[in-house]
Amino acid sequence: MSIVTQNFSRNKYFNWAVKNLFSSWVNTIMTIIAVIFVYEIGSFFLNWSIFSADFKTNFEGEIITDRTLCSKNIVPGEYGACWAIIYARWDQFMYGLYPVEETWRVNLTYALLPFAIIGILFDKLPFRKLFIYFTFIFPFIAYFLLYGGPGLSTVGTNKWGGLLVTLFLGVTGIGLAFPLSILLALGRRSKMPIIKSLCVVFIEFIRGVPLITLLFTANVMLPLFLPDGVNPDNLLRALVAVTLFQSAYMAEAIRGGLQAIPKGHIEAAEALGLTYWQTTRKIILPQALKIAIPPIVNTCIGLFKDTSLVLIIGLFDLLGIGRAALADMTWTKLYYEVYVFISLVFFIFCFGMSRYSLYLEKKLKTDNS
Amino acid sequence: MTKIKSLFISLVLTLGVSTAIAGSHGSTLDLVKERGKLMCGSNTGLAGFGAPNDAGVWEGIDVDVCRAVAAAVLGDASKVEYVPTTSKVRFTVLQSGEIDMLSRNTTWTLSRDVDLGLEFVGVNYYDGQGFMVNKSLGVSSAMDLDGASVCIQVGTTTEMNLADFFKANGMSYESVPVETNSEADAAYLAGRCDIYTTDASGLYASRAGYPDPSAHVVLPEIISKEPLGPAVRHGDSEWADIVRWSLNAMIIGEELGINSGNVEEMKGSKNPEVLRLLGVDAGYGAMLGLSDDWAANILTQVGNYSESFEKHIGPNTPINIQRGLNALYKDGGILYAPPFR
């Protein structure tokens, strides 16, 4: 073995491969099996999803308007995915049943969203202050654009759907839950007994109940207790449940960060004469939140995916609208296409969040942690 | 019906009763007229019965009942807001007053009609549990199924019906439990079971999506009663009458040969029932609190029952359901509307 290594020492990739992949006969066999496996799966998937797939037209060049025109349904066994369902239903995947002539409002909101969050994500941004101001007024702009108001026709939330609902629940849920969870985490560590017990009860209760139960409670029980005619919006009810759920989980993540801070820091701050809020804002939270980044992002990713549970209360989120597409006789049984597409969309967002958290961890890394 | 479902229903029941009593506010008809649109509880997507199409417009025979009521009350079948409901939340959504009526393949049973504070106003589709087999097996009747393996959704009423049916006929079967419809499809197509059983409409819808639908046959035996129909809240009989007669108008329309294309022409008919239905003989709409052309609106904008059936689930659609039980009584089915007089 050592002779082989020496002969090819010029090539560091080869060395790496020999050391890591072919160091013993067991590893060699494992490597070969893994390569074959990856190749088989990968080539099958690429072939299915791209090379022998239909996009807008089938193999005869016809535009696909229903499932019977998919190549794979004309010549069984020969062709792969039929992505025409995604083309045909693109608007529904993006906006739900939002009126077609008003979808520019959703597009504008989508386009403004990055500007609203970029300010909080990156601190070395030029004109960051302006971006932060925009972050605070964005919810009002988004509400006006999406729901309507003076000059814009009202589009009820029962018309919202697809990515719009998923993003709305995810972004708003996380955005509202974040401040709430900081308060809960601080409250849970407070020395004031009433505040402390309220926070403990809230967190433990919400964490002890599955999100589905909360959604059902919000959706089904709430209207029964309210007077007739008072029907809080369906989407709003789901949002409340999602926010409460997320804040309880995030509070525990932040509490973990709070507990990791040495007591000396707090005592030092007190010795300097800082008040509780000054200590918290300037010394405790910056450190605690840094430590808590991985678990916070973890709960955010979890929540983003959990939003698909709203389909059981009849909201058309991305998954719900996909299932509705499958229920249309025009497209029925194109399960793989729809589910692969939905997974891809979820993956893009969740992977983005996870990369951002890695970036943040690296940037904030100091030696004491 | 799963255990969870029944648990949930009993939960709803305790809460629902108090609401049903509290729910006797102004009439639903006035509310709908004032709002200018009908709130209709629909499916979250069931092929042929209720699902949004590519353009986002809801279609299906359940949806057509909503459209008929909107046509009758508001004169415009498109003035409907659909509230997608799942099987778990459908009854509470109705009880809480979020929707004016529920039209989503809901089986009419005693407990739902009486206990849940609902009122079923009719049947727009007679369903029942059936069997599907591969044609190559050469089976033509469920009586030939002794010893077969059956794909069955666990914990449902279909499972119990199946056991009863085989026991009653002195036959045995081997059950292949599956969780969902799509799993059942996969298992059945892979040959893990000889028979697939669920509600017949579900079998037809599944078959429509198979690579070779003509290779499978749904057997003629139907072993349970599943009358599906629209429901409204208890306590507003006037509104229940309107929904009931909107559905009936579609059925009577078929009986009398009135369809969306010939309403104007039929207004000159000599048949007094046609004249009453189309409002040429005035007075019947007023009894319901509607205008006299209410039924004419339904038939022009939505069409009669047969048109709706043929358009969404009939033999010319991918679902390919024969009229069967859902044919008019005079054509060998059990579809029957009381006389319009």
Digit-coded pLDDT (tens) for A102-133? 999 999 999 999 999 888 888 888 888 888 89
pLDDT tens-digit series, residues B140-180? 888 889 999 999 887 677 888 899 999 999 999 999 988 77
Interatomic CA distance for residues B34 and B53, integer angstroms: 29
Whether the pLDDT of residue A332 is over 90: the answer is: no
B45: distance to nearest CA of chain A, Å?
A: 5
- Best probe of the A interface among B89, B206, B212, B310, by most A CBs < 10 A, is B89
Pairing of strands B129-134, B38-42: unpaired
Q: For residue B211, list chain A residues with Cβ-Cβ distance below 8 A.
A: 73, 76
- Which of A65-74, A101-110, A196-205, B140-149 comes out lowest in average pLDDT? A65-74
Amino acid at A175: G
* A211 has a pLDDT exceeding 80: yes
Does the distance separating the beta carbons of B47 and A231 come in below 8 Å? no
A332 vs B: CB within 8 A: yes
d(CA A252, CA A299): 10
Q: Which residue has the higher pLDDT, A185 or A218?
A: A185
Is the pLDDT higher at A6 or at B16? A6
What whole-number distance in Å separates Cα of residue B132 and Cα of residue B201? 11
Question: Does the pLDDT of residue A196 top 60, yes or no?
Answer: yes
In this predicted model, which residue has the larger pLDDT, A363 or B131? Answer: B131
* Residue B69 at interface with chain A, using a CB cutoff of 8 Å: no
CA distance A295 to B246: 56
**CB nearest to B44's CB, from A67, A89, A314:** A314
A237 in reach of chain B (CB within 8 A): no
- Rounded CA gap, B269 and B217, in Å? 43
* pLDDT-wise least confident of A288-292, A325-329, B305-309: A325-329
User: What pLDDT sits at residue A368?
Assistant: 54
Contact A322, A339 (CB under 8 A): yes
Answer yes or no: do A156 and B51 touch at CB < 8 A.
no
Confidence check: pLDDT of A76 > 50? yes
Report chain B residues whose CB lies below 8 A from the CB of A220: 12, 89, 92-93, 96
Q: pLDDT at position B293, please?
A: 93
Q: Name chain B contacts of A228, Cβ cutoff 8 Å.
A: 22-23, 25, 97
The pLDDT value recorded for residue B195 is 93
Pairwise pLDDT comparison (A222 vs B216), residue with the higher score: B216
B86 → closest Cβ in A68, A92, A312 = A312
The minimum CA-CA distance between A162 and chain B, rounded to whole Å, is: 12
Contact between B51 and A219 using a beta-carbon 8 Å cutoff: no
Establish if A255 touches chain B: CB-CB under 8 angstroms. no
φ, ψ for residue A192, nearest 5 deg = -80, 120
Whether chain A has a CB inside 8 Å of the CB on B24: the answer is: no
A355 vs B: CB within 8 A: no
What are the structure tokens assigned to A312, written together?
């059981």
Q: Which of A221, A329, A330, A339 to mutate to test the interface with B (most CBs of B within 10 A)?
A: A329
Q: Is the pLDDT of residue A5 over 70?
A: no
- CA B315 – CA B308 distance, rounded (Å): 12
Query: Closest-CA residue in chain A for B43?
Result: A314
**What are the structural domains, with CATH classification, of chain B?**
3-126+227-252+296-331 (3.40.190.10), 129-224 (3.40.190.10)
With CB atoms and an 8 Å threshold, state whether B83 touches A314.
yes
pLDDT mean across residues, chain A: 87
For chain A, what percent of residues have pLDDT higher than 70? 95
CB-based contact B54 A88, cutoff 8 Å: yes
Which residues in chain A are closer than 8 Å to B17, comparing Cβ atoms?
none
Which pLDDT score is estimated for B170?
93
Predicted local confidence at residue A10, as pLDDT: 61
**What is the per-residue pLDDT for B126?**
93
pLDDT of residue B20: 41
Q: From the candidates B13, B88, B96, which should be mutated to test the interface with A, based on the most A CB atoms within 10 A?
A: B96
Q: Average of pLDDT values for A331-348?
A: 90
H helical segments located in chain B? 3-22, 28-35, 61-74, 90-95, 110, 157-168, 181-189, 200-208, 237-255, 263-266, 272-277, 284-288, 294-301, 305-312
Closest by Cβ to A323, choosing from B45, B317, B318: B45
Q: What is the DSSP letter of A59?
A: T
Region A241-250 average pLDDT: 94
DSSP three-state, residue B156: coil
CB contact under 8 A, B97 and A223: yes
CB < 8 Å to A330, chain B = 53-54
pLDDT at B22: 41
pLDDT of residue A149: 85
Q: Which residue has the higher pLDDT, B40 or A360?
A: B40
Q: Could you report the predicted ipTM of this complex, rounded to two decimals?
A: 0.80
Decide if B227 touches A, using CB distance below 8 A: no
Give the closest-approach CA distance of B277 to chain A in angstroms. Answer: 33
Q: DSSP labels for A267-311?
A: HHHHHTT--HHHHIIIIIHHHHHHHTHHHHHHHHHHHHHHGGGGG
What sections of chain A are H helices per DSSP?
2-7, 12-21, 25-46, 71-74, 84-88, 90-95, 103-121, 128-147, 163-167, 173-188, 193-207, 211-216, 222-225, 234-259, 263-271, 276-279, 285-291, 293-306, 318-327, 335-364
- Is residue A11 pLDDT above 90, yes or no? no
> Looking at the predicted structure, is the pLDDT value of residue A230 above 80?
no
Q: Which residue has the higher pLDDT, A34 or B5?
A: A34
Positive or negative torsion for Cα B50, B53, B55, B59: negative
Q: Show the domains of chain A with their CATH numbers.
A: 161-334+345-364 (1.10.3720.10)
| Residue A75 sits at the chain B interface (C-beta within 8 Å) | no
Q: Lowest-pLDDT range, A70-79, A350-359, B99-108?
A: A70-79
- Which pLDDT does position B335 carry in this prediction? 94
Contact between residue A159 and residue A99 where contact means Cβ atoms under 8 Å apart: yes
The pLDDT of residue A199 is: 95
Compute the distance between CA of residue A323 and CA of residue A341 in angstroms, rounded to an integer.
Answer: 12
**Residue A366 confidence (pLDDT):** 67
User: In chain B, which stretches have pLDDT less than 70?
Assistant: 1-25, 155
